Amino acid sequence: MSEPKQIDVLIAGQGAAAFAAGLYSSRYQVNTLIASEQFGGETAIGGTIENYPGQPDIDGFDLMMKFKEQVDNLETPTVYSDLKSVTRNGDVFRAVLDDGTEIDAISVILAVGRERRKLGLPKEQEWTGKGVSYCSTCDAPLYRNKPAAAVVGGGNAAVEGAILLAKYAATVYLIYRRDEFTRPEPILVKILEQTENVKVLYSTEVTELLGSDETGLTGIRLSKPWDGQDELTIDGLFVEAGADPRLEIPNQLGLEINPETGEVHINRASNTSVKGIYAAGDLTDGTNLKQTITAASQGAIAALSAYQHVLEVKSSRQDARVVEPADTSVISGG
């Protein structure tokens, strides 16, 4: 078996946080590797983005390609395989990838994001970015002056999404499987009730996505009729059913998890509860605003912290090499 690859910083992920971390880490002149099977994270599948500074009206996939190209220009290698396990091995962390590759890294930055809860319907994945979205904050402006759009969910994100979307689309349907709201903040429910162009469909689920591969989404079928019809013609469907942080590796490492949010807890420097392990982006409780720009900023911060840890570890190794001969000579001369 070949020896594990020795590097300074291992970055898990290929989204905004990961690429920003890779950019800064590489500029710090430390040996960096990015590892993830999926390219682009949530941004790449989010459709058109209008709120990223300096890049108005850009497709999310194209934006992530720009991130990656900038990192590639610094010759930062990428391995298209996810982390399978990470354990401490002396003053390094032994990482094993799904493809069997073993890596010893002084610092690890976790930027693996969240897994969006899906409806589990046919064509949902294929039509993501073609009428199906998972981010109202990102994509609501795309439905300016559109006849109708729908939001699925019953938490804060769904209610906020419907309120926001109502500023753009003529009619917004908020589809919730229960018979009343119990999770959203009361003030949000009050605002929702005062938003005249939002129609709430309680005790209802989306059972089918309607459209074609050419047109994308054009409508939805409902589990029970509303206003005498079980199909709605809509221009866009926002699935705001929540998202779960990817905690497999954090749990292996015993990282502190925020009990209120279920996210990896970090401080202002993107430190986790384990020294040498850093986290950034949607995986963390660093901010409530889960956006490309905040993920990128956290990735940059994590890279600085990881770099400082690399210097600390390498300095301690040098000190050990200096001290050891002195100790040996004293013993042999005794």
165-211 pLDDT per residue, tens: 999 999 999 999 999 998 888 999 999 999 999 999 999 999 999 99
Domain ranges of the chain: 5-116+243-325, 132-239
pLDDT > 80? residue 320: no
* Residue 46 near residue 290 (C-beta atoms within 8 A): no
CA dist., res. 126 & res. 171, Å (int): 25
pLDDT > 50? residue 221: yes
Which pLDDT belongs to residue 185?
A: 85
pLDDT > 50? residue 108: yes
* Domain 5-116+243-325 shares a fold with domain 132-239: yes
The DSSP bridge pattern shows strands 102-110 and 92-97 to be: antiparallel
Q: Which fold has domain 5-116+243-325?
A: FAD/NAD(P)-binding domain (3.50.50)
- Catalytic position from the list 8, 135, 235, 282: 135
Give the tens place of pLDDT for each residue, 69-84: 999 999 999 999 999 9
Q: For this structure, is 179 an active site residue?
A: no
- Catalytic position from the list 8, 139, 235, 282: 139
- Catalytic position from the list 59, 98, 104, 138: 138
Single-letter code of the amino acid located at 155: G
pTM over 0.85: no
132-239 belongs to CATH 3.50.50.60: yes
Q: Which residues pair with 96 in a beta bridge?
A: 85, 102
Q: For this structure, is 135 an active site residue?
A: yes
**Sequence-separated (6 or more) residues with CB below 8 Å from residue 120:** none
End-to-end Cα separation, the chain, in angstroms: 43
Give the tens place of pLDDT for each residue, 241-281: 888 999 999 999 999 999 999 999 999 999 999 999 999 99
Q: For this structure, is 8 an active site residue?
A: no
Decide: residue 182, CB within 10 A, 0-12 exposed, 13-18 middle, 19+ buried.
exposed
